[in-house]
Structure 1
Amino acid sequence: MSISVSLRHRLDRFTLDATFDAPDGVTALFGPSGAGKTTLVQAVAGLLRPEQGRIALGNHLLEDSATGHWLPPHRRRIGYVFQDGRLFPHMSVARNLSYGRRMNRLPPNPEEEARILSMLGIAPLLDRVPATLSGGEKQRVAIGRALLASPRLLLLDEPLAALDDARKEEILPFLERLRDESALPILFVSHSLGEVARLATTMVLLREGRVLRCGPTAELLADPDAVPSLGPREAGALVEARVVAHHADGLAELATSAGTLLLPGITSAPGTVLRIRIPAHEVILALTPPEQISALNILPATIRSLRFGDGPGVMVQLQSGSDLLLARITRRSAEGLGLEPGTACHAILKSVAVSRQDIGAG
């Protein structure tokens, strides 16, 4: 179910003026703190009534200021998950989970409840109270409560922001399952590019209340022109790879459209498709196949474009098989190698250059 948003609303710091259309899947609202991400999702939820706006979820019109149409929050059928989960401390997990269904006067659906409990891994928690749960467990229960209210849309407002790295790694696989196993459209707010790369199918780039770019996540992450807004240090392209085998030395062999990658820390079964974010600053370029080097991953590539910044850096976009890569190198290196669009080269990547946080389910 597609999402169509067009809003204009004056705030103290800036005017939120955002328009975008997003297809099915997970749509990430990405930008720095104060970009207007939370304000936008509050407007979608009906918690904020914008001065001007039109919001539609598929054929369901939520509001249109031109005609005066406006659905209050309780009639929008939207699940909202906040940073801190906001579970009711006096209720058990089971009572928290059923709250949305009971408030919406929905009949019990044991089959759907069992599916959601299994998907989120929270069935063993039903008799516990929120004070005894970890941060990751609380967020999974909060997501389950939202899903059991049978929403048309799920809003995740930085659900991982309050968690440490270990808890984030605990909950990210469940969010990937939610993306892959549910037909529910999701708006996902984040200022972490790694989270967006792992989860989002569509990306909306926000800054100071305005939409700078909107499109498929893989395309935006591999676009050199988007790098200044994303941050050069965070730049990195997405590659889809299939697990081929696990070797005795701890490295997994992955097949990409251009060749083989060898990476550590992957436990997925052979045949599993993964999304891998390759940081631009970890890619080295060579005009000829290198020999006798420690780096194990060498992919053939062709330069598509070069973006020269004001400083000494250059962002190079590469075509490698059917995938796009980015390499962040110096202007001196680009000029010394004579790089230009169409130049054939080799992209070199150390096996340890890709962190576990940059590997997600495809």
Structure 2
Amino acid sequence: MSGPDPIRAAFRGRLGAFTLDVDLTLPGRGVTALFGPSGCGKTTLLRAVAGLHRFPVGNCAVAGDSWQDGARFRPPHRRPIGYVFQEASLFPHLSVRRNLLFGARGAAPAGTEALRFDEAVDLLGLERLLDRGPQHLSGGERQRVAIGRALLSGPRLLLMDEPLSALDRPTRDEILPFLERLQARLAVPILYVTHDRTEVERLADTLVLLRAGRVEAVGPLATLQSDPTCDYARGRDAAVTLDAMAEDHDPEDGLATLRVGAHRLLVPSPPLLPGSRHRVRIAAGDVSLARVAPAGSTILNILPVVIVSGTPAEDHAVLVVLSLGQDGPRLLARVTRRSWQALGLAVGQAVHAQVKGVALARA
């Protein structure tokens, strides 16, 4: 694993009736999402990394700094982490400014570089809130302040435990762009607990799937999204997210042209800066297949693809993995078993993917 030193997180033991048994080596940059059903161990793993749960068998290291190795255990207050909980938990008697400064009250730990106060305020859009008390903030504003306070402590690792779960959907949509800015501008790696696929698709670079205290799968987001052996890819709401670059925008049609590899997609979008990077989402249920390139179709995005695999799925469907060119990005299509057989579809076959819906997952 190239780049910054990886994050090591290996723990085994019981906590009440729950057993955790994980052994992970994760990238030392970007967002790693911990995903799975309630009770699978996401928060337990996060708290073990923070030192809030101590397992008898454990190994934890971040940026080459060992926090736990067998019997050697560094207590939570000596670990350079920023922790953002489901509830913002701000000091009610302090203004936003003083809540933020509380996070920066000490020198950053050795080997870390604390974010400057004005940088955090700009990054999280807090300028107009600095003199308010927490009681005069919305739920999304309180959570942004909590994130800023965690960042100003100069952490080597940011831990986020379902930070949007206490918010309604409009407020989540309001705060997600700020989290995307963190992901794009900060060098601090983030472990992000969620059970929301939208958050995974918009934020994650790496995905860890947990079930009953064990790791079901781990890898780059795009890899697990298109792995038919993985439960994450077999769900009815399965989708892939693709990295794309903006090329053009038609103001009359409200459509942006984005390049994905050697291919172009038309996406409903506000104007985008040419050359800017984006992430687009294509759901498996929005992709149909044709043996011959359709003519006179209302579908704008028709792409030449090759069938990589076809796996039986629930409800008499077939989950089809498609490749945009040799070793190119992957798409998913969910087709009926009858269509698969009637068209004589097979692995290795060149077909055309009709993409009925493409959406910007992250701008």
TM norm. shorter chain > 0.5: yes
Which of these residues, 328, 333, 349, is aligned with residue 334 of structure 2? 328
Aligned residue identity for 2:128: P
Q: Does 1:92 align with 2:95?
A: yes
The residue that corresponds to 2:351 in the other structure is 345
The answer (yes or no) to whether the contact 1:258–1:300 under 8 Å persists in 2 is no
Aligned residue identity for 1:155: L
The whole-number CA distance in structure 1 between the counterparts of 2:306 and 2:268 is: 27
Aligned residue identity for 1:360: R
The residue that corresponds to 2:362 in the other structure is 360
The whole-number CA distance in structure 1 between the counterparts of 2:234 and 2:40 is: 15
Which of these residues, 73, 77, 90, is aligned with residue 76 of structure 2? 73
The residue that corresponds to 2:12 in the other structure is 8
Q: How far 1:9 moved relative to its partner?
A: 2.3
Aligned residue identity for 1:99: F
Aligned residue identity for 1:129: G
The whole-number CA distance in structure 2 between the counterparts of 1:229 and 1:303 is: 20
The residue that corresponds to 1:63 in the other structure is 68
Q: Does 1:301 align with 2:305?
A: yes
Change (3 A) 1:106 1:204: closer
The whole-number CA distance in structure 2 between the counterparts of 1:270 and 1:125 is: 33
Q: Which has the higher helix share?
A: 1
Change (3 A) 1:267 1:173: farther
Q: How far 1:63 moved relative to its partner?
A: 0.7
Moved more, 9-18 or 270-279: 9-18
The residue that corresponds to 1:261 in the other structure is 265
Structure 2: unaligned runs, 5 residues or longer: none
The residue that corresponds to 1:234 in the other structure is 237
The residue that corresponds to 1:159 in the other structure is 163
Which of these residues, 36, 41, 46, is aligned with residue 36 of structure 1? 41
Aligned residue identity for 2:362: G
Q: Does 1:276 align with 2:271?
A: no
The residue that corresponds to 2:55 in the other structure is 50
Change (3 A) 1:256 1:81: same
The residue that corresponds to 1:195 in the other structure is 199
The residue that corresponds to 2:104 in the other structure is 101
| TM-score normalised over the length of structure 1 | 0.92
Q: How far 1:164 moved relative to its partner?
A: 2.1
Q: How far 1:22 moved relative to its partner?
A: 0.7
1:314-355 residue CA offsets vs partner (Å, 9 max, x unmatched): 1111001321111111111111111111110111112xx345
Q: How many residues align?
A: 352
The residue that corresponds to 1:168 in the other structure is 172
Aligned residue identity for 1:76: R
Residue pairs, 1:70-149, within 5 angstroms: 70-102=73-105, 104=106, 112-149=116-153
The answer (yes or no) to whether the contact 1:222–1:238 under 8 Å persists in 2 is no
The whole-number CA distance in structure 2 between the counterparts of 1:343 and 1:201 is: 30
The whole-number CA distance in structure 2 between the counterparts of 1:3 and 1:112 is: 25
Aligned residue identity for 1:140: R
* Secondary structure of residue in 1 paired with 2:330: strand
Aligned residue identity for 2:118: A
Change (3 A) 1:157 1:355: same
Q: How far 1:81 moved relative to its partner?
A: 0.2
Q: How far 1:132 moved relative to its partner?
A: 1.2
The whole-number CA distance in structure 1 between the counterparts of 2:271 and 2:169 is: 19
* Secondary structure of residue in 1 paired with 2:90: coil
Q: Does 1:211 align with 2:222?
A: no
Q: Does 1:313 align with 2:317?
A: yes
| TM-score normalised over the length of structure 2 | 0.92
1:109-140 residue CA offsets vs partner (Å, 9 max, x unmatched): 99821112111111221101111112221111
Q: How far 1:58 moved relative to its partner?
A: 2.4
The whole-number CA distance in structure 2 between the counterparts of 1:85 and 1:233 is: 33
- The two structures, once aligned, show a CA RMSD in angstroms of 1.9
1:286-339 residue CA offsets vs partner (Å, 9 max, x unmatched): 111111222111111000111113540111110013211111111111111111
The residue that corresponds to 1:26 in the other structure is 31
* Secondary structure of residue in 1 paired with 2:122: helix
Structure 1: unaligned runs, 5 residues or longer: none
